[in-house]
Amino acid sequence: MEKRFIYADNAATTAVSEEVLNAMLPHFTKAYGNASSIYKLGRDAQKDVEEARAKVAKAIGADPVEIFFTSCGSEADNWAIKGVAEREAKKGKKHIITSVFEHHAVLHTCEYLEKKGFEVTYIPVSDKGLIDPEDIRNAIREDTALVTIMYANNEIGTIQPIDEIAAICKEKKVIFHTDAVQAVGHVEIDVHKQGIDLLSLSGHKIHAQKGIGVLYIRKGIVIPNLIHGGGQERNRRAGTENVPAIVGLGVAIESAVKNIAEKAAVITPRRNRLIDGILKLPYTRLNGDRDKRLPGNLNISIEGIEGESLLLMLDQNGICASSGSACTSGSLDPSHVLLSIGLKHEVAHGSLRLSIEEDLTDDDVEYILEVIPKVVERLRSMSPVWEKMMKGESYQ
């Protein structure tokens, strides 16, 4: 097949859609007002911000007053966790529960709080990449301030039992936050129905621009500010509103949550063809539960190769993919997510994540399935590890 360009790394970031870009453009030039200004140019900007807020709220089943725009998903995670920690610490609650395979925006925030005197319990995940809600129940103590568990994992795509976890937190009167950056637009979310207290999301994973995010904070929960300054976002998050980005996010999220089931019906069979096709190679395994996962995610370990070399060779063939998380690639540490589901270091090193969307065609699938075996064969033929494996020698 002729060389193609295939972007299969939508979990790392997405292109700004044309619809989003068109909605944003006037806000750079004609409609450039400061949303805090009193004259019409400013009032119009304010109106557009509020319209976007309403769209975000509707998309996740929240009220507009519960939506706060932030500079990114990482800021939303930081604000939620540090904010709840500070608030609850005043009542003597200094224990946080999270999982071992969270995004670094959550893990590193928890580690920071550990240095500040908080205690953190890291819940393990099963070999399928799933959290057992009962583990959360058992970990909750009198002094637990917060449970923060991601909705869907960014590397292996597994979807966590959020409803059960939220119900346990409610019963135990513990605040529940979820990093839903990977879930929004891919699974139905209704924060009120599901009993979610705080939720983070990010624009650039759903075809808005980089550098815009949201923290949903349930009415009645007041947490201290992370960013101090002016009175924007009803005095809760300072900084002149990034109107173009906010408007773009409103359009992006409205579009992302439309037809979630229809999109999944298109993507899932293609994703499954990719999984089955790649698993035909010997010494491969699918990482993460096959069913309880995002429709567009597949993550496969291919023994005897280095993930980085695989990515470079896929790139030469026009395929953008990922190995481990984008944040850790470049370092030699294997992904903490893959280690958390029990992979050995050398197996975790040879992993491939494809995150696809409905624009990936059947021909693209065929092309990927043509390229990968060739590339893997080539890499294995050059690999001393593979040679030892084939001779039955220990290679560890």
Q: Which residues are catalytic?
A: 327
Residues 6+ apart with CB under 8 A from 138: none
Question: Which window, 202-210, 232-240, 345-353, 360-368, contacts ligand PLP (CB under 6 A)?
Answer: 202-210
Q: Work out whether 179 is an interface residue with ligand PLP (CB under 6 A).
A: yes
Smaller CB separation from ligand PLP, 284 or 355: 355
Distance CA 247, CA 256 (A): 14
Smaller CB separation from ligand PLP, 181 or 196: 181
Distance CA 240, CA 389 (A): 58
- For 306, counting Cβ atoms within 10 Å of its Cβ (0-12 exposed, 13-18 middle, 19+ buried), the class is middle
CA distances from 42 to 38, 241, 289 (A): 6, 11, 49
Q: Work out whether 213 is an interface residue with ligand PLP (CB under 6 A).
A: yes
Span 128-167, contacts to ligand PLP by CB under 6 A: 150, 154
Pick from 166, 145, 150: which is nearest to 96 by CA? 145
Q: Work out whether 205 is an interface residue with ligand PLP (CB under 6 A).
A: yes
Largest CA distance in the chain: 77
The pair of structure tokens assigned to 394 is 């220990």
Helix (H) or strand (E) holding 235: helix 232-235
Q: Judged by CB under 6 A, which of 55, 82, 93, 103 binds ligand PLP?
A: 103
Q: Report whether 351 contacts 40 (CB < 8 A).
A: no
CB of 40 to ligand PLP, least distance (A): 32
> Could you tell me if residue 335 is left (phi over 0), alpha (psi between -120 and 50 degrees) or otherwise beta?
beta
The pair of structure tokens assigned to 208 is 């808005």
Smaller CB separation from ligand PLP, 202 or 340: 202
Span 69-98, contacts to ligand PLP by CB under 6 A: 72-74, 77
Smaller CB separation from ligand PLP, 97 or 105: 105
Q: Judged by CB under 6 A, which of 148, 160, 194, 202 binds ligand PLP?
A: 202
Q: Judged by CB under 6 A, which of 10, 14, 182, 340 binds ligand PLP?
A: 182
The pair of structure tokens assigned to 10 is 């939508």
Question: Which window, 68-76, 138-146, 187-195, 280-288, contacts ligand PLP (CB under 6 A)?
Answer: 68-76
Smaller CB separation from ligand PLP, 194 or 355: 355
In the complex, the residues that contact ligand PLP under the rule CB under 6 A are: 72-74, 77, 103, 105, 150, 154, 179, 181-182, 202, 204-205, 213
